[in-house]
Structure 1
């Protein structure tokens, strides 16, 4: 398979083989579940170091053991990380001491009724956007340490095509969460808008020092689709049938290996060097698929400034 033929059916394994020279010797991160685990599994076959992050120590151990069983020589660093807690994010970031070539954000909160974190942030927005933003800020020195004349470190945000199913981010409720105006699926879609906007603004503000990308991994029947209010919301969209199982009437489902392929492409494909801030779908740049509210530079700037205010820190280069 040539690099130019990456498509909707390409798997992460195939991308890893084609881009093995780009991955070799690099340090990267991913989560311990779902698409993130598949990404970490493939990374471990080619990379120097793979950081697998998650809230549950037992799940981290299972993920590490599974990777080690397949790739005994893999260098793995398990990292306890709760993205819904600013204090926990700061603690986890302090444990990452190695230079980092690629930081992948693919964790997502359960789509559930309104709940605030200890920091007073709505839980989905905290886990899917604010926590990753802070983690990126805190690990920017590790990322910049890998920058050379011929290599630019990358940050990857796993978004979703569902970002187009909302009217954009409600900045008022982001700053001051309001249970009266909260709707679980709509908030999830807003966090996916935030992923795209953050990738665009991070690439802009870093001025070539870090390249950020966002992506739609595909419609995949992961654990997230089987929890909380996601089932009813996805049934309404036609993604799940009456029994809560995948329905192909409106959407074509991918497997987890196929979904992780676009993450791997965003993280390592050298063809993307000239398109920082791009949005990918089916392993190719698909900026035309971004909804207007997800590509508006004014929205990107507003979100960045407001998120800095929420975390109480400035993210500058």
Structure 2
């Protein structure tokens, strides 16, 4: 186990990296068991896991591809040879896979102090999962919703008189894009003739914030929840089908698919992007701010769009999702 840093530590800012934030909150990270979804090399989840592994007791990394999951584990251990890494296979597009993964987690001896719902897809063509769900909704909301609730006993087991477990949802500033309220009909009755990739992404990222708020409400103080925008980061997500033209049209990627660098486009490195996630997971100043939304490692509740903070929408989304997965959850 690495020694806790002794240097003077500073409050995380928009330029902080995940590694710097982990060093700042090393005392909070030390001894914790953390589960991070979506940890492929080159992504935010991997960088989050790599940084946390320096001090955490155990980091559970997840993915739907065994080979890629092993690559991430090897890379993290190369950087942190003493790190305890537990690879977990989970396909968020399959409710059966989610249930199987949750069952595996619940059999572990260790409790889960922090769950980071990081995995997501974005701006992809219409596609239904084996469960009949639209892929955005399944990966970004329904899968994480079910997984979070199924492993809640393991999360609650980490609570103590001095510690409240945390659940973090990686959302996006895209949740605030203008448009109608969150379309729950697209969740329950997916229709390719009414489908729009940007709208689907917007609504599922709003769903992340709404779920965080409703989870905190229903847990009645037993769990602290947070959501966040990591920033504009060039990751392997930009290479997926259908994504490139949308971002080129938005003027953030050039004709070759590379980031357009300008003062008006605040690109972040992957390390800087993962910093806000780590802040949400460990910053002790957030203990009295449950349900907060973060940007640039700071609370930014004023930047949450009305459709993503409406209590009635949050309640309806939770109830509809419970019906979809065929299970109700109580705390």
Pairwise same-fold verdict (TM > 0.5): yes
Q: What is the alpha-carbon distance in structure 2 between the residues aligned to residue 275 and residue 237 of structure 1?
A: 34
Give the Å deviation of 1:248: 3.6
Q: Deviations over 1:182-231 (max 9, x none)?
A: 01122111111011111111111101001110000000011112212111
Equivalent-residue separation in structure 1 for 2:39 and 2:309 (angstroms): 30
- In 1, the alpha carbon distance for the partners of 2:218 and 2:60 equals 26
| Alpha-carbon offset, residue 166 of structure 1 | 4.4
1:82 to 84, 91, 110: 91
Contact map agreement 2:125 2:242 (CA 8 A) in 1: yes
Out of 126, 147, 150, the position equivalent to 2:138 is 126
- The normalised TM-score by structure 2 is 0.93
Match among 9, 30, 42 for residue 15 of structure 2:
9
Distance in 1 (CA, whole Å) between partners of 2:307 and 2:249 is 23
| 1:223 equivalent in alignment to 2:232 | no
Return closer, same or farther for 1:15/1:160 CA change in 2, 3 Å cut-off.
same
Write the deviation string for residues 120-159 of structure 1: whole angstroms up to 9, x where unpaired.
1101110011000000000100000001111110001000
Counterpart of 1:291 in structure 2 is 305
For residue 32 of structure 1, report the CA deviation from its aligned partner.
1.7
Residue of 245, 254, 258 corresponding to 2:258: 245
For residues 58-94 of structure 1, the C-alpha deviation after alignment (integer angstroms, 9 at most, x for no partner) is 1111111111112111111000010010000000111
After TM superposition, the structure 1 = structure 2 runs for residues 275-314 of structure 1, keeping only pairs within 5 Å, are: 275-314=289-328
Per-residue displacement from partner, 1:243-284 (whole Å, max 9, x unpaired)?
Answer: 222124542100000001000000000100111111000001
Q: Which residue of 2 aligns with 1:210?
A: 223
Q: Which has the higher helix share?
A: 1
Report the more deviating stretch, 108-117 or 206-215: 108-117
In 1, the alpha carbon distance for the partners of 2:69 and 2:230 equals: 22
Which residue does 1:196 correspond to in 2?
209
| Residue aligning to 2:154 | 142
Counterpart residue number, 1:264: 278
RMSD of aligned C-alpha atoms? 1.3
Q: Which residue of 2 aligns with 1:48?
A: 57
CA distance in 1, matches of 2:10, 2:86: 33
Secondary structure at the aligned position of 1:77 is classed as strand
Moved over 4 A (4+): 1-4
Alignment check: 8 A CA contact 1:16 1:264 kept: yes
How many aligned positions are there?
Answer: 317
Structure 1 stretch displaced more, 75-84 or 102-111: 102-111
Is the 8 Å Cα contact of residues 69 and 87 (structure 2) preserved in structure 1?
yes
CA distance in 2, matches of 1:126, 1:74: 31
Structure 2: segments with no counterpart, 5+ residues:
1-6
Residue from 66, 71, 96 that aligns with 1:62:
71
Q: Which runs of 5+ in 1 are unaligned?
A: none
The separation in 1 between residues aligned to 2:8 and 2:160, in whole angstroms, is 27
CA distance in 1 between counterparts of 2:9 and 2:168 reads 19
The match for 1:28 is 34
C-alpha contact (below 8 Å) 1:154/1:210 kept by paired residues: yes
Per-residue deviation, 1:239:
2.0
Aligned equivalent of 1:92: 101
Between 195-204 and 107-116, the greater mean CA deviation after superposition: 107-116
CA change 1:232–1:47 in 2 (3 A) is same
Contact 2:122–2:201 (CA under 8 A) maintained in structure 1: no
Deviates more, 1:11-20 or 1:167-176: 167-176
Q: How far apart are residue 4 of structure 1 and its match? A: 5.6
Between the aligned partners of 2:310 and 2:50, the Cα distance in structure 1 is 35
Q: Secondary structure at the match of 1:114?
A: coil
